Structure 1
Amino acid sequence: MKRSWSEAIVDPGGLLHSADVPASRKKAYQKNKKRCLLFSKLPSEIRDVIWHYVFGGLTIHILDDALDRNTCVAKVCRLHVDPEREVVRLREGEQDPYHVRHFRCFESPDQQSSDPPDQPQALVSVLRVCRQIHDEAALLPFVANFFSFARFTSLSRFLDRLLPAQAHAIQRLAWLEHSNWSSHWNHAAGTALLRRVPSLLQVVVFVEFRQASVELFLRNGHTRGVRAADLSEFLRGLAGGSLAKANVAPLYPSSGLKSRDQFKGRVWQWAVDEERHMISGVDADAKREARRW
């Protein structure tokens, strides 16, 4: 069910708060809180560190359910590096496609480990222990993790199923684009996404190219797929909030490129404070080479 995005973040329906405890149970609630060593002995700053350790530091893949397009499936990434570190590996020359890098993440359930770290549901089960824990940490799984999507449309479906407070808490997003599929990159689309995730701090976009599409990407030539200028406009619209920079990591079959060594491991970093809001990081020689193509 889609939720109304006009709902105020200060009143996110569905999240439990201590203020919502029925009057008949207030006394028991306060008594239990005082008897619990976690709340009576540890200051809130220490509890906050514990909650971040329990709920954060992961990359969580969000997929469309193969049997029900209206349902999302969550899987913990098994690379043990977040998308920012993936970008570093690509910068250093790794050229494995996305589906190869994340092959183990998408294994069937009978092949995957049953350990709690591999099961996202185990993370939120702690929130069901008591109302006090839920009160303090209900939004931390959204604040403290990277959410990764194999396609941009999955991101939209995922956000449709969150409470406004949950979506507003998300700070890190990554997604994969195929160069010949993209058609939604524009300033308005970036602004629309910003309204849904206003706390966004980090963005990583993995763009996989086919044949010579990377040349068209660089020189913004005629193509049905993603172009550097279009993607930059999208990021410009998305940067009206807290987002200051984004990494755009291209991956392409090197056999299809001229002067392929020039582009090996190239990662573009888009910075909001650049006057022209363009993707930076391509050196002058690479730009001249791209124009000759």
Structure 2
Amino acid sequence: MRHFDAWLLRDPYSIWHYYSTGRRWQETVRDLIHQRKICAPPVDLFSSSNSNVEPVDPYARPMASQSDCMLFQKLPAEIRLMIYNYVFGDETVHLVQLKGKIRHVRCQHSSSSLERNRHCCPVTPARWRVNDGRIPGHTDRVLYPHTHALLPETLSNSSLSLLRTCRAIYAEAADIPYTNSVFDVDDLHTFIAFSLSICPERLQSIQRLTVQWMPVWQPMAGEEHKSSIYSHTHNDRLWALFWTRVASLKGLKELHLSLDLGRFSGNVMGGVIGGNRLRLAVDEPWVAPMLLVRGLQSFELGITVQCDAYAKSVLEDDLRRDAVVLRDNLRAIMCSSPASPIPLSGVQLKRPCLMEELNQQPERKIRPRLAITAA
């Protein structure tokens, strides 16, 4: 085990250590990597790591009268809320995962436009979205989702010290950092781990979410490859669990989804090669988990591709037509009033869908956290 320990201390998700020359790690170690059980936040809703600690309740004990506090004695609640909103801001928050911890980068561009495709903060995209060399500084040598060399220098430290001043301020302002921010994610595992690490009450305060996702292969179609380095970031169970967690956000009002299909180009045979083909239709199995999301006020869908002149002439009209139809159909369902979920018909998995398991498992409380992201 000495060699195994030394490997862990170096970088367990390094492609060069994981796929060493001429040989690979034994199946048990590879399974740990693919299941993200090494140097990654847990995403198992029912694992023993989730404690039964009760969420923070600021009203559990009587609060002080705050007779000496000028903030409460001189300013009405409306003015105090304006101060809290100014302190916490309303920027876009790019969620990232850095060596087993969920962190974030506050974006200076408050717009959540899908056209930005996270290029507003070029150090934050996941490595599978930049492996064509579009954004320098990223590396494909490690299996961590976010691998830009300058990312550690741009991580944000949330200004939440105000919430730790007293319980009265916490009771008034604890929801504001979650209500005002636009949470932007491009790695499914990162958002799931984030949603499991914060207080459930704060989780329900999230109102705006942007998902920038790049399919390596089509979800829910049995196209997973266990030997692939992407099997721990792109798999059916992760896709189903992600949308289950999004559907649990009862306060969510705006959802923007961007699908990056990669780069397409023409070949000498007159066809189109490259990219990630994704069938854009509401009755496709990969869309079924998304239909659990209801009660939205706004839903937007963006499809982004990179094409040469020939590929553009072949794909552009069909992609635009299919994207508009899919957007309208999804908007009609997701923006409808909350009702009983649509059955996941046509979904064939090698093992039971995680959304079915959730209905059979007893609910467990998750350890609450105060900060926006677990540090």
TM-score under structure 1 normalisation?
0.65
1:248 aligns with 2:301: yes
1:45/1:102 CA distance change after superposition, 3 Å: same
Identical counterparts, % of pairs = 17
Q: Which runs of 5+ in 1 are unaligned?
A: 6-11, 113-117, 221-226, 278-293
Equivalent positions of 1:110-121 (< 5 A) are 111-112=153-154, 119-121=156-158
1:2/1:251 CA distance change after superposition, 3 Å: closer
1:63 aligns with 2:96: yes
Contact 1:178–1:209 (CA under 8 A) maintained in structure 2: yes
Equivalent positions of 1:191-202 (< 5 A) are 192-194=244-246, 196-202=248-254
1:208 maps to 260
Q: Deviations over 1:86-114 (max 9, x none)?
A: 23xx3xxx7xx64x4421556626754xx
1:252 partner SS: strand
Taking the aligned partners of 2:330 and 2:174, their CA distance within structure 1 comes to 31
Taking the aligned partners of 2:80 and 2:320, their CA distance within structure 1 comes to 41
Structure with the higher fraction of residues in helix conformation = 1
Contact 2:191–2:242 (CA under 8 A) maintained in structure 1: no
Once the two structures are TM-superposed, the CA of residue 57 in structure 1 deviates from its matched residue by 0.9
Once the two structures are TM-superposed, the CA of residue 152 in structure 1 deviates from its matched residue by 1.7
1:274 maps to 332
Once the two structures are TM-superposed, the CA of residue 48 in structure 1 deviates from its matched residue by 1.7
Taking the aligned partners of 2:150 and 2:334, their CA distance within structure 1 comes to 45
1:146 maps to 182
1:264/1:183 CA distance change after superposition, 3 Å: closer
- How many correspondences in the alignment? 235
Contact 2:209–2:256 (CA under 8 A) maintained in structure 1: yes
Contact 1:17–1:135 (CA under 8 A) maintained in structure 2: yes
Taking the aligned partners of 1:107 and 1:76, their CA distance within structure 2 comes to 17
1:282 maps to none
| Residue type at the aligned position of 2:291 | R
2:300 partner SS: strand
Once the two structures are TM-superposed, the CA of residue 131 in structure 1 deviates from its matched residue by 2.3
1:48 aligns with 2:81: yes
2:58 maps to 17
Contact 1:147–1:172 (CA under 8 A) maintained in structure 2: yes
Q: Deviations over 1:271-292 (max 9, x none)?
A: 6663799xxxxxxxxxxxxxxx
Contact 2:244–2:289 (CA under 8 A) maintained in structure 1: no
Contact 1:174–1:203 (CA under 8 A) maintained in structure 2: yes
Q: Deviations over 1:213-244 (max 9, x none)?
A: 88954555xxxxxx8845653433111xx313
1:236 aligns with 2:291: yes
C-alpha root-mean-square deviation of aligned residues, in Å? 3.8
Q: Deviations over 1:137-190 (max 9, x none)?
A: 112111111111121221111111111111111111112211334526899758
1:183 partner SS: coil
Aligned counterpart in structure 2 of residue 108 of structure 1, from 121, 142, 150:
150
